[in-house]
A = this chain, B = another copy of it.
């Protein structure tokens, strides 16, 4: 590969002039422009990203940390982020925490070694207390309500309120014993902790209500289907289900229909996400605009980068901007299962 020196040699100009041309500076003569353009074509030049970012301190790269890139929620988040990344001119790194050789330090490595300009964190790094503090040194946007509690920028839907709304809806539809299905990585995906506190708030509001918490081993339709039997045998009095994901709810619904169970007469089912499958099955659910959230996260990260690009390099000398907390709207989609 040829470099800027080759261009300089080939055109008889200096590297400074060539660099100026490449960066669109004024004060490059027409002849020089023409000569350089020609040389670029001839030598097949393209700039070296490493050298550029070494000099400029910018990489044009950001990363997003998710639990599992193949999970419908996270994959939609990644897709949204990837789309926006192109728009803003960034390359997007994807990091997964459900992997064997994963570790928080490994995830932070790119940001620490300045291989990326900023980080989007959508899943917990444990112990979060420790790493959240660490993250404050960098440009970080979190995509989870629980994660954003620290001094970090946050972008999330309000799980507390949305859970309350969902439970309230089930109550209105006549449910009195509600099974709440936990996310599979209950301990890792900290937003489920927020949901739990919403369950408690709700239970204390209506004394006649009972909440049963059930943990699903993973987040698939298959597991959802298997839960019907478990509910039937362990908690036969359950007449409403609030699921943390559409997949679990859909599986449960399919199993219920298979078993000839009256939905929503005998059992009301409410999902979360509004995936295509929910629409097909007529599953009531809470819609969250996940793709948009991913895109918005990139937008926010971009603003951060712009911000303290102008504040000078390295540490924020001036006062650090207060962390933004952005609530993304959600919407209850009432269909035929509630």
Contact = CB atoms under 8 A, between A and B. Distances in A.
A92 B291 CA distance: 20
Contact of A99 (B52, B69, B86, B99): B86
Contact of A87 (B94, B101, B115, B281): B101
A82 B69 contact: yes
B314 A1 contact: yes
Contacts of A100: 83, 86-87
A222 interface: yes
Contacts of A1: 114, 314
Nearest to A291: B70
A206 interface: no
B83 A78 contact: no
Chain A residues touching B, majority SS: helix
A80 to B, nearest CB: 8
A23 interface: no
Given A50-B54, A59-B50, A225-B280, A102 B114 contact: no
Number of copies of chain A assembled together: 2
A51 B56 CA distance: 11
A185 interface: no
A61 interface: yes
12 contacts: A1-B114, A46-B112, A61-B93, A70-B75, A82-B99, A83-B96, A86-B95, A86-B99, A91-B93, A94-B94, A222-B280, A254-B280
A329 interface: no
Contacts of A83: 96, 98-100
Nearest to A80: B70
A94 B78 contact: yes
Nearest to A279: B222
B48 A113 contact: yes
Contact of A68 (B54, B79, B92): B79
A276 interface: yes
Interface string A56-75: 00010101000011111001
